[in-house]
Every structure is written in C-alpha cells, then in structure tokens.
Structure 1
Amino acid sequence: MARGSLLLGAAFVACGWGQGLPDAPGKDLVTKVCTECHGIERILNLKLGRDAWKTTVDRMAAQGANATKEEIESILNYLAKNLGAETEKDLPEGPGKQIILRECTACHAPDHFTKYHHSPEEWQVIVVRMGQRVRSATTAELEAVQKYLAANFPKTEDSTKLNINKATAQEIRTRLGLTAAEAEAIVHYRNEHGDYREWGEMLVVYGVDGRKIKAVKDLMSF
C-alpha cells in the first residue's frame, strides 16, 4: 500500500472514524475505503458470512470503491474474520434464499428477515418497495423472494386479539364492547374499502366513537 494511503488511514483512526471496529489487520483499510460512503454503525450492524461479505464487497468495488484488488481482498478478509457470522444458516433453504443473500444483505443482515412475520400481501408490498431500490433484481427474482419470505416467515395470529378484517359484526360488538350500530358500520366500511391496515383507519368510520376505538386498540389485530 502506498505511504499516502497509510497516513490517510492513520488520520481516520486518529479522528475516531474507525472507532468501534475490532483492531486487526485491515481495519485501517475498512476505515479509509468503506467510510467514504457508509457510517461505521452500518458496517458493524452487518454480521455476514464470508460469501455474503464477498458479494457486498464485490458490489462496492464495482461501484467504484477507491481500492486496489489486493486492498479489496484485505477488506474482505477483515470483515469476514472480525464481523462475520454464519447467520445465513438461520435462513431456511429454498428458492429465493440465494437471491436474498445476493441482493438484500448489502443493507440487512440475514437474520434481519427472521425477526418479521407478515402475510403474503404484506411481504409483496415490502418486496416491491425494496425492488425499487435493488435495480439488479429481475421481476422473477423478486417474486421468488416474496414467495420465499411468505412461506418461511408467515404472519401468525395472536389468539388474544380480534382480527378486525375477519371478525363478524357480532364478534366486534362482543369482544370490543361497541354498540351493534358501530360494529355494523366497521364491517360495512371494510366491505366497501378493503381491509384495515391499523386501528387508526377505523377513526374515519362514520358513526363509530373514536374514543372507544382508541381504548381497545390493543385488543385488535389486522
């Protein structure tokens, strides 16, 4: 590495820009090269296996990271050894897994996906939104990701709560303590406008006391 690069890396460390990164060969390079675009926190939050780190580092190199081929290899070795975790093992095998590791782990650690459970429709909305940022994924690949996530991380019902989008007017009246007219209004609005996404949407239903809805919001699911 050139003397200038060493001095620049040392300056970054002296300023505290590498604070939080484990001390090991390659730290100065990570501080110098990677923090041109990313904060240290983002790097620390990604706990990836070597293959996932390689995908991430190769992508950064292709996008113009200011480093030689040898320096890129040193960065990869540092990240894989010091900030590595084979957390991709937490992702079940199946179509879509490798696409997630390739496209999504630039921003999210693999175990990020195991923390959330959504309905197929909700996963579709999330994947479409992410797909607008990940231009390299094809439509077919995004569909595979959505199906993979929906199959492996489905939304689970909380039996202690009333699913407003499935409940009858009678169930809403009995479980939430609303009047028959209020319960009927909630169901009518749902039939006319589609499922509720959260309790706040029920505040616009004509004839329903918003104070009652707010008081029992923790008894609802959607």
Structure 2
Amino acid sequence: MNKYLIASAVILAAFAIPACCQNLPDGPGKEATAKVCSQCHELGRAISLHQDRAGWQATIQKMVSLGAMASPEDFEAILDYLSKNFPAAEPPKLHINSARPIDIEAALTVRHSQALAFVAWREKHGPITSLDQLKDAPGIEFAKFESHKDRIVFDQPSVSANSGPAPRY
C-alpha cells in the first residue's frame, strides 16, 4: 500500500510545476520561476508585484534571505523572466489641480503635512497652469515637482453642482 502512496505522490509532484506554469507567459526562466517561487507561496503573489529589474533583484535577495534555494543560474533566469514579463507599471499622472493630499504625498514622496499645506495653498490661489507656478508652493521643494514634471497634468478641476471641497485625507 505504501508503494502506491509514494508512487502517487511522485506522479502528482511531476505534474505540479506544469500546473503552476499554466498562468505564466512562456519564456526562458518560466519553469525555474514556477519551481522556486511556488515552494513558499502562490505564484500569483510573486507576479503581482510588477517591478523594475532593481525591484525584482531586491525581492529575490529578500526571498533568498528567507530561505529560497536555487542555483545562481536559476536565480538569474528568474530575474530575467520576472523583469521581462512583469515590469513596473507606468506611474499614474498627478492631476495637480484636483489631487488629494494623499495622492500628492504618494506621487511626490512628501510628508502628509506638506501635501496638506500644498492643497491649502492651491485652494487659496486657484488653479495652477504651469510648472513655474509651483515654485511659490509652500512646504514642498520645487525640485520635487520638477523631478516628476512628466507626470504632472495642469488640467482644470471639474466642478459640479453637488461637489464641495475635496476631501482632506
């Protein structure tokens, strides 16, 4: 009876990796990724991150420190595979005239108090139409705005009859 149990386990294990791989894009490193990453967690968890190469490298190093085991060649193949197939998403645009403090805080990596001060200034001075106007904004260094200028949109906030001031969170 034990022989059958062991044989069944071996057969199931042989099919486990191909089953894991079904949702992954084809390419070099796919099987190594499925094999190594699924030892500790679901593959969906691993691929949901969408990072640049440096981010994937840091994640792999963290997993190694937590006990992930594979050859250096496999880890390199995994890094190449994840970097190619699950790259970082394009950061969202920052609609500077309607962004909430939390959006400004996240987009510019500033403190919440700085984002609140900016929104108060924006509400007092009206819509911003150019990057140059942001030089006068209190609490946030102009360099922060300038370093994200490709993401900043200077659209006019839409106003409806039922809208009040933007929420402050």
Relative contact order (alpha carbons < 8 A, sep ≥ 6): 1 or 2 greater?
Answer: 2
After TM superposition, the score normalised by the length of structure 2 is 0.50
Between structures 1 and 2, the one with greater helix share = 1
